[in-house]
Amino acid sequence: MSRLTIQANSHSYDVVIEAGIRHHLNQWVPDNYKEILVITDQEVASHYLDDVITSLQGRSVHTHVVPSGEASKSMSQYQVLLDKCIEVNLDRKSLIIALGGGMVGDLAGFTASTYLRGIDFIQMPTTILSHDSSVGGKVGINHPRGKNLIGSFFNPVGVLYDVETLHSLPSKEIRSGYGEVIKHALLSDRSWLEDLLETSFDNVRNARLIHDLEKGIQVKAGIVEKDEREQGIRKFLNLGHTLAHAIEAELGYGKITHGEAVAIGILFSLQLSERKAGATRLPVGSYVNWMERSGYPIHSIQTLQPVELLKRMKVDKKTVDHRVHMVLLKGIGEPCVVPVGDEEMLAELERFLNEVIQ
Ligand SMILES: NC(=O)c1ccc[n+]([C@@H]2O[C@H](COP(=O)([O-])OP(=O)(O)OC[C@H]3O[C@@H](n4cnc5c(N)ncnc54)[C@H](O)[C@@H]3O)[C@@H](O)[C@H]2O)c1
Ligand SMILES: O=C(O)C(=O)C[C@@H](O)[C@H](O)[C@H](O)COP(=O)(O)O
Ligand SMILES: [Zn+2]
């Protein structure tokens, strides 16, 4: 078991990483919560919902299962969840548990943050990617025009990470999760990055995976504790995301996973960093090899149009005065934020789509 305490603006909370913790929830979920609503998705429910209900024996537990996939991070599912909270009479002493990946965590967390102006929630991440999404308090839903455009900063009262649940992840979701792991490595540590770039996911043994998750969470915690509301350094956690979010929205939510889109967005940012941030020592070649070897669906964006992508990028939350702001790297562990004008961005997107992706 490992335990890391995160100091949020409102309160501190623990991230507990333990194989099988879903079987011991009565030990971890304080008994002052009179009603508990477990929110999960269909796929996760089929594997783990019974375990969670069983381990909360003796408590008043309600459940709600949303369809799996990014399309559920929507206004309509949010409405359904609010209806559910009212139907089962959750009050301010109630608790929501988000059991699932980042989709469930963001959606259930946003529901918790707004229902009755906010009730407590616990994150129970079940994907590799959600080592990132379960920490730091960003919760929200998508709008057809852009990712996460509706949301809040609202921290969980705890994160219970049962790494045993990762055993049932399909390889696509392992790949997706590593899109955010590699982001945390690029933001922090060259030797960790080099190790990752040499690793094939087929060889990711449990000990190695947990090491990567713990390191990723430490990087994220170190940033969100200093800048929870993203006034400055938290923007760095958006490395690769300005293009990634545009790709996800433009292709249609769920056509490509978030982590896969982030990995593609990072490649764009690495190349742009050489031209716009003076970077000279970025391992762009080995990053491309790693992406290809790992099966990131780089060609799935071939048909996208630079003009449409730019329109999407401009609704990014980092945009100031209609100007896109990109997170770039001066070197490994040396992120910066650089404004890029429309003409230049269009030229960069053209080059990326025509020369790199083809
Ligand atoms: N709030 C944040 O700080 C933050 C950070 C990163 C990403 N995100 C958001 O997280 C979302 C992506 O999260 P995700 O990649 O976890 O996606 P996800 O929650 O959609 O899960 C991916 C797929 O894996 C399935 N699944 C989940 N756990 C499983 C398990 N243990 N075994 C088998 N299948 C399982 C799900 O049913 C789903 O089909 C995006 O919406 C992204 O915007 C938020
Ligand atoms: O926690 C953050 O801050 C991040 O940027 C983490 C990202 O991986 C995550 O995808 C986040 O949801 C993006 O936030 P957004 O504000 O750009 O929507
Ligand atoms: Zn992300």
Same domain, 211 and 123: no
Probe ligand 1: pick from 15, 40, 43, 247, max atoms within 8 Å of CB?
43
Domain boundary among 118, 147, 168: 168
Cβ atoms < 10 Å from Cβ of 230:
18
Cβ-count burial 284-303 (b if 16+ within 10 Å, e if not): eeebbebbeebebbbebbee
For the segment 259-272, what is each residue's pLDDT rounded down to a tens digit? 999 999 999 999 99
The answer to whether residue 204 scores a pLDDT higher than 90 is no
Ligand 2 in reach of 318 Cβ (< 6 A)? no
Helix (H) or strand (E) holding 62: strand 60-66
Confidence of residue 202 (pLDDT cuts 50, 70, 90): confident
Ligand 1 in reach of 43 Cβ (< 6 A)? yes
Rounded to an integer, what is the distance from CA 3 to the centroid of its chain?
A: 20
Annotated binding site for NAD(+): 68-73, 126-127, 138, 147
pLDDT at 207: 83
Measured distance CA(111)–CA(154) in Å, rounded: 10
Same domain, 155 and 182: no
Probe ligand 1: pick from 6, 107, 130, max atoms within 8 Å of CB?
130
CATH code for the domain in which residue 74 is found: 3.40.50.1970
Same domain, 338 and 212: yes
Ligand 1 in reach of 155 Cβ (< 6 A)? no
Helix (H) or strand (E) holding 139: strand 138-143
Ligand 2 in reach of 241 Cβ (< 6 A)? yes
Annotated binding site for Zn(2+): 180, 241, 258
pLDDT at 288: 97
Domain count, the chain: 2
Rounded to an integer, what is the distance from CA 47 to the centroid of its chain?
A: 21
Confidence of residue 200 (pLDDT cuts 50, 70, 90): confident
The answer to whether residue 214 scores a pLDDT higher than 80 is yes
Ligand 1 in reach of 173 Cβ (< 6 A)? yes
Considering only CA atoms, which residue is closest to atom 41 of ligand 1? 103
Ligand 2 in reach of 238 Cβ (< 6 A)? yes
Ligand nearest to C-alpha 106 = 1
Q: Give the pLDDT mean for 282-308.
A: 96
Confidence of residue 203 (pLDDT cuts 50, 70, 90): confident
Same domain, 180 and 125: no
Q: Give the pLDDT mean for 117-133.
A: 98
Same domain, 12 and 71: yes
Same domain, 213 and 257: yes
77: CA distance to ligand 2 center in Å? 20
Same domain, 211 and 345: yes
Ligand nearest to C-alpha 167 = 1
Domain boundary among 136, 168, 200: 168
CATH code for the domain in which residue 307 is found: 1.20.1090.10
Same domain, 198 and 342: yes
Same domain, 97 and 209: no
Probe ligand 2: pick from 133, 159, 241, 315, max atoms within 8 Å of CB?
241
**Does the interface ipTM go beyond 0.90?**
yes
Measured distance CA(158)–CA(98) in Å, rounded: 11
Same domain, 346 and 208: yes
Confidence of residue 160 (pLDDT cuts 50, 70, 90): very high
- Structural domain harbouring 332: 171-356
Same domain, 152 and 223: no
Domain boundary among 134, 168, 202: 168
Q: Give the pLDDT mean for 61-85.
A: 98
Q: Give the pLDDT mean for 31-54.
A: 98
Same domain, 211 and 337: yes
